[in-house]
Each structure stands twice: as C-alpha cells, then as structure tokens.
Structure 1
Amino acid sequence: MKSLYIECKMGIAGDMLTAALIDLYDDASKMVNELNKLGIPHVDYVLEDSNKAGIKGKHMRVMVHGQEEGELLDDHKHDSKAHSHHHRHLSDIEQIIEGLSIDRDVKKDIKEVYKLLAEAESKVHGVAVPEIHFHEVGNLDAIADITAACYLIHCLSVDRIIVSPINVGSGTVKAAHGILPVPTPATAVLLAGIPYYESETIKTELCTPTGAALVKYFATDSGVQPVMKVSKIGYGMGKKEFEQVNCVRTILGETEEDKDQVLELSCNIDDMTPEEIGFAMDRFFEVGALDVFTTAIGMKKNRPGILLTCMCRSQDRDKVVAEIFKNTTTIGIRESVCNRYVLAREVKKNDTPYGEIRVKRSYGYGVDRVKPEYDDLVQAAKKSGKSLLEIKKDIAK
C-alpha cells in the first residue's frame, strides 16, 4: 500500500509541510511552476534549498505582492484598510478557491480544511461558522499553504497517510485575539483525537492551526512510523532556528496491507425462535463482536437448525462467550483463530444538493471504492420525497 508518513517532531505548519511534500518529487521546480499556475491572486511560490544541522531540505516562500508575510505585516500595521484585507469570512475564502485552476477534488479538499478551521474557531469563540472572521489563517499566504499542500498530496496519490505524535511547543504566542497559550485554543480543538505533546525546552508555537487542520483532514492513522519500504524522503525547513533541526520530514513508501487476527466463535442451535436469536445477536454486538451471522444447517435426527457464528477480537472473547451462553440455549462453543485482511477505511463528508452526505472510502490491495452512508441517503430521500436510487444518481454527478 502506497503510504505517506509525516514526522512532526518539531511540530507542523503549512509552509513546512508544503516544502516537505515537494521535496518528494523528482522535479521540484516543475511542481513549483504548477503551483504558480493555480491562480491564487497576487501570490507567487518561491522554492529555496535550505540546510539545517547539515541536512539538506527545502524552504517554501510564499510571496504576496512580491513580499513575504512578515514584511506585509510591517507595511500594513499603520494601514487599517490594508489590514482589513486579512479578515475574511469562509464565504470569501471559498470564492477564492472556486476561482483556482485546479481539479474539483482538490478544491473540495481545500474547502474541507477551511471548514475544519471555521468549526474550530466557532467552537472557541461561540460564533456561528458563517460569521467567523479569519485572521492569520485568512491571509493569502495561509490560503497558498493549504492549497499547495492539498494539491501536492492529491498528485502523490497515496493510499494511506500516517502522522507521528505532534510536538506543539510550549509557552504563549501573540495572535490577533491577544496573547494565547500554546497550543492555541483553535489548534487544541483541531488536535482532538490526534496524539500530541508539549516541549518544555521550546517556548514557542510549533504546531499552527493550518498545520493541525491539514493533519486532521488528511491523516488516516497516527502513531510511530510503520514498517515501510521507503522510496523517498523529504525535508521541509522552518524559518526559526532551534537546537534541534527545525523541519517536517515526509517519508514515502510501501507498507504491508492491513492484517489482523480474529476469533470465530460458533455453536449449533435448534430450539430458539428467530426473535430470540435476533435479540441475542444485538447483545453480542454491544459487547464488542465484529460480526454476527447465522447459517441454515441440518442437524442430527434431520432436525433443521442454525449455525450461529460470532467474530470478535481476542481481548473481547470472554465477554462474547459469556453473552452467548447467557442469551442462547447452546451448551458448547467452538473457537477458531482466523487471519483477517481488511481494506483501509475513511469517512468524509460531501456537500450535495441534499446537504452533507457521508461517504465511506475503502482502499488497498489495488482496490479503491466509495459508498454513500445509507442512513444519510435515507434522510435525504425522506426530506426530498425522492427514491434512494434517484438520490444516489444525483450525488454521483
């Protein structure tokens, strides 16, 4: 399975991730030219070689009106009209995204990343998403970072993205809303469910909201680097200097397909009603069963019966066995150990004429398929008065 591992021992920011991703390409200058053709207003990407602690990597400069972010802030700090240019609503940003010369799928990815940022800001400030004013992450350089990262990941066509535990730094950071703790409140919301840690020796922000949102959206797994056959390694260098090399490292390679072991618990039953069996099956799922099914069988003395099969993980075996004995009439259970091969899975939300509909993606072993969430299709059909087949056809367009 083609996999991308993102190592965040010095945090993650949009420009560092972009540089680390572009360093994976054989012709980085070609990819920079492609980025500059996307049509972000007043923005130019400039890629530079960078060397930190003897390690060669890339540094991405985003030029807005020919200047970098820091220079722009200095020029605009006494110009209220120019300063207001940096305060955009989500609708303003989506309008910029729609004007890009880029695939529809990449536009969708960029919008979803910004939606995550808007939802985090909404939760922190108690303001509805449409009313959120983006400050730093609404600047053109932030839009450029997110666009570049989404485009480069799309072009890599990886099956799986794994992110390491993220070093967020420590201390405080100056933001548009004042002095904030590290990680900032919005970043902390975005990192929910993602392993991260503080570094007491580095008193600054290492993980930005942009970096956190990109990881939140794209990462399918988190943890230490899996066993990989590595083909490329990229280094995206940050601007600041620390005792430890300030970089995001990306590792591209092949990982083994997902495989695990499960237990198959089974028993023969010929003296229970279908309703009783249905109730028992629900109980098995409640205590951790992965799957439960029945098979019609013929038993001794020509009695019709069922083979009840319950799949579970080894750590859930005792609970499932207890529930089988409690909720069925069997007096014996058979156990088999099975290898299970599974496709990697992820769920994303798609905007459709019927509202947001979740789509499940399953991939690996040369397979890549998507399927709309049944419950969401049912709700859309009920609200619109259309059939499930019509809904499926409409959202596939």
Structure 2
Amino acid sequence: MKTLFIDCSMGAAGDMLMGALYELLEPAQQEDFLDTMNHLLSQNISLTASSCEKCGIYGTKMDVSIYVKNEDSHTSYPEILAQIDSLSISSRVKEHAKAIYTLIGDAESSVHHTDIQQIHFHEVGTLDAVMDVVGCCILLDLLAPEQILASPVHVGSGTVPCAHGILPVPAPATAEILQGVPIYSGTIDGELCTPTGAALLKHFVGQFLPMPPMTVQKTGYGMGTKDFPTANCLRIFSGDMDIMPVPTKRQLPHIQPTSTVSVSNDSETHPDFYTEGFHNLDQILELSCNLDDMTPEAVSYAIDVLFDAGALDVFTTPVHMKKNRSGLLLTCLCNMEQESIFSRLLLEHTTTRGIRIHPCYRRILDASYEKVSTPFGNITIKVNSGYGIHKFKPEYDDVAKAAKEHGVTFQEVWNSAKDAYRKNK
C-alpha cells in the first residue's frame, strides 16, 4: 500500500511541504513540475527549487519570486476561488486547492466573527501562498499515494507578527484549523506551523499518529527559511505498508504515478488521491496484568467496570505463574488518550501492582446495521465491510428473542435472517 508519512516534528508550512513532495518525484517529473508551475499564473512570478542545508542536512528550498508588486494585499475568499478556477489545471486539483482555502476561510471567519464571504486574506492570500497550495495539490496528484499519515504537529511557541498585530503561537487561525489534530508546543521560540501548512495537513492527512511500521523507499526534505538549533526541515517518507494483503485492482482502484505533469488534462473517472474505502491504521493501547489472587466474582466485576468505562475490549487468558500457581492474564484494549483512565481502574479494581502497556496497530472493518423482515419478525443484521471484504451476521439478541417467542430453534431464525438479507442484496 503506497503510503506517505509526514514528519511534523518541526511543524509544517506550504513551501516546506512542497519541497519535501518535490524531492519524491523523479528528476524528469521535477523539471516538468517546475515548468508547469512557472506557466500557471503569469510571467511575473516564478518558482525555483534550490538545494539548502540546515544543521548538516540537505534538502530542497522552494522559493516563489514575484516581479510585480501587488498593491492590493487584501484578497477576498471569492477572489481566491476565482483565481484558482482560472488556472490550467485539472478540476480535481482545483477542488482540492479550493477546499484548502475554504478551511482557512472558515477558520478566519470563526476567529474574526464574520461571514467567510467577507474574509480578506492577508499573508495566505498572496500569490506565493497560492503557489504553495496549488503546487502541493499537483505534487500529490502526481505521487498518487493510497494513504497519507502524519505525526502529531509541533506548532512552536512564543509570538508571531501578522497583519493584525502580534499574536500568540499557534496563531488563532492555525489553532482553529488544527482542532481535532494532535499538536504540541516545545522550547523552540517561533511559529513552526503556518495556517497554509495546517490546512494542507488537515485536508490531506487521513490520520495523525506516531510513525507506523512501513518499508521506506524514499525520503523528501523540505527546508524552511529560518534557522533554529534543530534542523528546520519537514520530512516525508514514501514507502509501502503491506501489513495486510492489498486487495486486487478490481477491489481497490488506485492512481498510478504519471511520468509527466499533464495537469491540464482532466478525466471525470480519475479516482481521488488515495483510494476510497481503504482505511488507515488505527493505533490503540493494550493494558495487561497477571492475576492469581482474585476470586472469579471479583475478576468479573473488574471486567464489568472496564466495559462500563468504555473499553474497546476486555478479556482473560489462562496462564501458569510463579510458585506453580494458576492465574489469569487480564487484558484491556483502549484508545491512546484513555490510558490514564483505564490504568487507574485496573490498579483500583484488581490486586495487581503493575500494568504492562503495549501500543498496537489495528485495521478494522466498517460496521453498519440493517433490519430484515422474516417469518419470525424483524431481525437486526450487523454488516462489516472494507478492503474489498463484505460479511454479515444476525444479531444474537434478536435471534434468541424471536426463537423463544415462536417456539423454534435458534438456527432456524438465524438461517431465515441470513436468507432474507441475501435476497435484499
């Protein structure tokens, strides 16, 4: 599964993302990309890619040069959309670019308590910001990843000057965009994540998590402008994540990378940047402890407490412990952010004095529920799907209740419900 993992340990900005993505292209593609970008807007603006060194690490610095000064530095939201629509790029790339500016516009309108149509962009409305957004959209269209993941985002600390004055880091619009995204501050004084970088991440990244197991084939480095004690660069790892077999092309259509930049040729049947229906990895925690001095009733109560608190799953496994004693391995699965809650419950409701914590990656199928009509009444069917897989089964409680009410066997109701579901499909 072709995967891009974005390392945001030094934040994210539009030019840094574009530089890292540019490095993942083949040399011929790089030339075509620059040629395309330099003919997009006008002859008064150019994009160059140059080698840049930060703390001994070399990467690509993307520079946009504007030769005619734009006297009007306030660009409205409708003007930005019209400008994107006028570009000779595919409608697919246009829609992504406009969606990114909509994220920024919604954030600005929320911060300034006004309608998005009344928003006038300052820094993010300049031509170089438009080039960053459009350039990243084109590059991702060329690279055609099946999924995009990213680390939690380092936003920096201190203050940042902008058109409205001196603002705290992260800037209010950046903080608004990054709602729902794991972020953190640090000792570096400065703005590490810009509104443009935040919007690009929010739009394209399927999940934010520590780097999962993947076979890296190439790494791109996009360099920032400022110098910090830590190398100011954004890394993107390109590789494969074949933790489970990838379905066939019929089940899992995907974009093949193109050898040239043909962004003006559009196709309504062309799929999106990453495959619809192929789910990202989900990271959870496995909390476990050994027990050999609790009664079955006490263990059962502890399990109920964990389930009532929202554990993803709780189960026991027979184990043979020290001093030849039989015992139980109690395991609780929970989401990452709930570790402290369930660790406390395990320590409080069991006799253990220590808990082992293991991060786990998982893939899950989507679950939905449907009602089918049978001679024994309506029965709920649980449907699981994803990765080209589709399976279903009747819900136990409905089947058991119907069997008792109609004086028939469990299997008779079960089979009737499965047959009814198949006929409906």
* SS of aligned partner of 1:47: strand
- Residue of structure 2 aligned with 1:290, choices 334, 356, 367: 367
Measured after TM superposition, the shift of residue 37 of structure 1 is: 2.5
- 1:226-261 residue CA offsets vs partner (Å, 9 max, x unmatched): 22122211000111111111101011111135589x
Between the aligned partners of 1:100 and 1:231, the Cα distance in structure 2 is 33
* 1:156 counterpart = 2:233: no
Who is 2:8 aligned against? 8
* 1:133 counterpart = 2:120: yes
Measured after TM superposition, the shift of residue 54 of structure 1 is: 2.1
- Going from structure 1 to structure 2, the CA distance change for 1:137 and 1:228 (only over 3 Å counts) comes to same
* TM-score in terms of structure 1 length: 0.63
Between the aligned partners of 2:203 and 2:367, the Cα distance in structure 1 is 26
Who is 2:210 aligned against? 224
* SS of aligned partner of 2:75: coil
Task: Give the letter for the 1:91 counterpart.
Answer: P
Measured after TM superposition, the shift of residue 304 of structure 1 is: 5.9
Contact 1:40-1:96 at 8 Å conserved across structures? no
* 1:146 counterpart = 2:112: no
Measured after TM superposition, the shift of residue 328 of structure 1 is: 4.1
- Residue of structure 2 aligned with 1:213, choices 189, 199, 206: 199
- Residue of structure 1 aligned with 2:51, choices 49, 52, 57: 49
* 1:100 counterpart = 2:87: yes
* SS of aligned partner of 1:39: coil
Contact 1:14-1:142 at 8 Å conserved across structures? yes
Between the aligned partners of 1:224 and 1:35, the Cα distance in structure 2 is 33
* SS of aligned partner of 1:152: helix
* Structure 2 alignment gaps of length 5 or more: 245-278, 283-310, 313-365, 385-394, 412-425
Q: How many residues align?
A: 278
Contact 1:187-1:209 at 8 Å conserved across structures? yes
* Structure 1 alignment gaps of length 5 or more: 67-71, 73-81, 261-286, 298-302, 313-321, 335-397
Who is 1:124 aligned against? 111
- 1:71-91 residue CA offsets vs partner (Å, 9 max, x unmatched): x7xxxxxxxxx54x2100011
- Going from structure 1 to structure 2, the CA distance change for 1:296 and 1:104 (only over 3 Å counts) comes to closer
Measured after TM superposition, the shift of residue 108 of structure 1 is: 1.1
Measured after TM superposition, the shift of residue 61 of structure 1 is: 0.6
Contact 2:377-2:402 at 8 Å conserved across structures? no
* TM-score in terms of structure 2 length: 0.59
Who is 2:171 aligned against? 184
Contact 2:376-2:402 at 8 Å conserved across structures? no
* 1:18 counterpart = 2:18: yes
Task: Name the Cα RMSD after superposition.
Answer: 3.1
Task: Give the letter for the 1:182 counterpart.
Answer: V
* SS of aligned partner of 1:290: strand
- Residue of structure 2 aligned with 1:196, choices 180, 183, 188: 183
Who is 2:36 aligned against? 34
Who is 1:254 aligned against? 240
- Residue of structure 2 aligned with 1:237, choices 203, 216, 223: 223
- Going from structure 1 to structure 2, the CA distance change for 1:95 and 1:310 (only over 3 Å counts) comes to closer
Between the aligned partners of 1:333 and 1:172, the Cα distance in structure 2 is 67
Between the aligned partners of 2:108 and 2:372, the Cα distance in structure 1 is 51
Measured after TM superposition, the shift of residue 39 of structure 1 is: 2.8
Between the aligned partners of 1:39 and 1:244, the Cα distance in structure 2 is 35
Who is 1:174 aligned against? 161
Identity of aligned residues (%): 39
- Going from structure 1 to structure 2, the CA distance change for 1:151 and 1:296 (only over 3 Å counts) comes to same
